[in-house]
Structure 1
Amino acid sequence: MPTRRYGRTTVTLPDPGDDPYLGVINSPPRPGSTVTEFRYTDQNLGALDLTETDLRNGILHNVNAQRTTIENVRFSSVRVTDSDLGSLQLTGSKASRTLFRDCRLMGAAITGAVLDSVLFENCRLDYAAFDRIRASGPVVFDRCVLTEATFTACDLTGVVMHDCTLRATGFGAGTYKGLDLSSSDLSTVRGVGNLREAVISRAQQHQLTDSLLAELDVTYSEDLPPHH
C-alpha cells in the first residue's frame, strides 16, 4: 500500500491504481450489495444514492451528481477523483484507506462518519457541516478549501489540516488533541476557545489572537467617542 507522510502523520492510501482488470460498472450499486475491484467513471447524474453498500478496492472518477446521498456505506481502499458530489448528505458511514482528490463537496452535510487513513487532497469543502465525525486513524486535509465549514461534536484527534483555507471555519465543542493546524492561516477561524491541545506554530500566535479578538467583539478604548 502506498503511503503519504505529513509531519508525524502517515496516511495509507488505496492502491487500485489503473488496473485494467477492474470491472466497469455503469450504474450505482444496489442497496445492501458488496462491490469489489470496480471502476465507476464519467457519469453525469441528477441523483446519486448509495445505501447500505460495501465498496472495496475501486475507483470513482469524474462522477458528477446534482444531489448525493450516502447512507451507511463502507469505503475500503477506494479512490474518488475529479468528482462533483452536489448537495452531499453522508451519514453513518465508514471509510478506510480512502482518497478524495480534486473533488467538489461544497455544502456537504457529513454526519456520524468514522475515518481511518483518509486523505482529502485539493478538495472544495466550502460551507460543509461536519457533525460527530470521528478520526479513528490518520486523517489529512491537504490544500483543501474549508471556507465557512463547521465542525460540531467531532473527534479530530491527530488530524492534519495542511495548507488549507480556513476562512471563517468554525470549530465547535469537540476533541482536538493533536489537531495539526500549523501550516494553515488561523486569523479568521471561529471557536478558538475550543481548540484545546491543538498543534500550531509559534508564528501563528498572533493569528489566534486576531481570531479571538474578533470573536469577542471587543471595542478598543481609542475608538470610543470622546465624552462631552
Structure 2
Amino acid sequence: MDSRTFGRVTVTLPNLDEAGTYLSNVTSLETGRGIVQDFQYADADLRELDLADTRLITGRITGLRASRAQLAEMRLDSVAFESTDLGSVTWSESKLSRVVFRNCKLMGATLTGLTLDNVLFENCKLDYTTFDRVRATGPVAFSKCVLTEAVFTGCDLSEVVLDACILQLTEFGRGKYQRLDLRGNDLTALRGVAQLAKVIIDRPQQAELAEALLAELDVTYGDALDDHR
C-alpha cells in the first residue's frame, strides 16, 4: 500500500499502479449492478452526473468535468480523483476509504454526512464548500488546499491534519476538533476560533489565533476612542 505522512498522521492511499492491478477503461460510472470495479474513467465532460447507491472499487477518475453533480449513498474504496472538476457538487451520506483527491475542484460544494477513512485532499480548490456532519474515522489530511470561506459545521475532525492550506475566512462551527493539527497554516483570518478547543498549533501561532479572535469579537480599542474626542 502507498502512504503519505503529514505531521502525526499517515494516510494510506490507493496503490493503483501495483503489479497485477489492471484497470479497464469505462465510458460511464452508472451501472445496473451498482458496482464499478477495477476501472479507469477519463476526460468526460458532463452536463449532469447523478449517482446514488453506487459502489466504486479500485479505480481512477481523471479529467472529469461535471456542470452539475449529485452523489448520494455511495461507497468508495481505493479510488483516485485526479484533475477533476465536480464544481458545486452535492454529495451526501457516503463512505470513502483509501481515496485521494489530487488537483481537484469542489468549489461551492455541499458535503453532508460523509465518513472519511484514509482520505487525502491534495492541491484542491475547496473554496466556499460546506462540510456538514463530515466525520473522520481514520487518517485524513488536507495538503496545500484552498479553503477560502469554507464552512465546517457539526463535523468530527479529530486527529485530522491541515497542512499548508489557505484558510482565508474559513469558518469552524460546532463540532469535535480535538487534536486537529493546524500547524503550518496562517490562522489570522479564521472564523469560529472559540470552537477550536484542544487543537494542535505551533507556539508562534498563538498570536495568529489571538488576532483571529479579536477580529471576530469586533473589539474597540480605547486609544481609538481617545482619537475621536
TM-score (norm 2): 0.96
Most deviating of 16-25 and 119-128: 16-25
2:148 and 2:166 in contact (8 A); partners too: yes
1:86: how far off? 1.6
Q: Which residue number corresponds to residue 221 of structure 1?
A: 222
Most deviating of 10-19 and 69-78: 10-19
Q: Which residue number corresponds to residue 187 of structure 1?
A: 188
| Aligned residues with identical type, % of pairs | 48
Structural mapping, 1:200-211, within 5 Å: 200-211=201-212
Across the two proteins, how many residue pairs are aligned to each other? Answer: 228
Q: Which residue number corresponds to residue 167 of structure 1?
A: 168
Give, in whole Å, the separation in 1 of the partners of 2:205 and 2:32: 47
Unaligned runs of 5+ in 2: none
Give, in whole Å, the separation in 2 of the partners of 1:90 and 1:154: 15
Deviation beyond 2 Å, 4+ runs, structure 1: 17-21, 225-228
1:31 and 1:53 in contact (8 A); partners too: no
Give, in whole Å, the separation in 1 of the partners of 2:87 and 2:182: 27
Give, in whole Å, the separation in 2 of the partners of 1:32 and 1:154: 32
* RMSD (Å) for aligned C-alpha atoms: 1.5
Per the alignment, do residues 32 and 206 of structure 1 end up closer, same or farther by CA in structure 2, a change over 3 Å counting?
A: farther
Q: Deviations over 1:58-109 (max 9, x none)?
A: 0000000001111011010000000100220000011000000000110010
1:8: how far off? 1.4
Q: Which residue number corresponds to residue 42 of structure 1?
A: 43
Letter in 2 for 1:10: T
SS of equivalent to 2:44: strand
Structural mapping, 1:72-151, within 5 Å: 72-151=73-152
2:29 and 2:36 in contact (8 A); partners too: no
2:4 and 2:11 in contact (8 A); partners too: yes
Give, in whole Å, the separation in 1 of the partners of 2:228 and 2:31: 72
Unaligned runs of 5+ in 1: none
1:32 and 1:51 in contact (8 A); partners too: no
2:151 and 2:170 in contact (8 A); partners too: yes
Give, in whole Å, the separation in 2 of the partners of 1:80 and 1:168: 26
TM-score (norm 1): 0.97
Give, in whole Å, the separation in 1 of the partners of 2:41 and 2:182: 34
1:30: how far off? 3.1
1:30 and 1:50 in contact (8 A); partners too: no
Letter in 1 for 2:126: L
Q: Which residue number corresponds to residue 17 of structure 1?
A: 17
1:2 and 1:13 in contact (8 A); partners too: yes
SS of equivalent to 1:35: strand
Per the alignment, do residues 226 and 4 of structure 1 end up closer, same or farther by CA in structure 2, a change over 3 Å counting?
A: closer
1:31: how far off? 6.2
1:20: how far off? 7.8
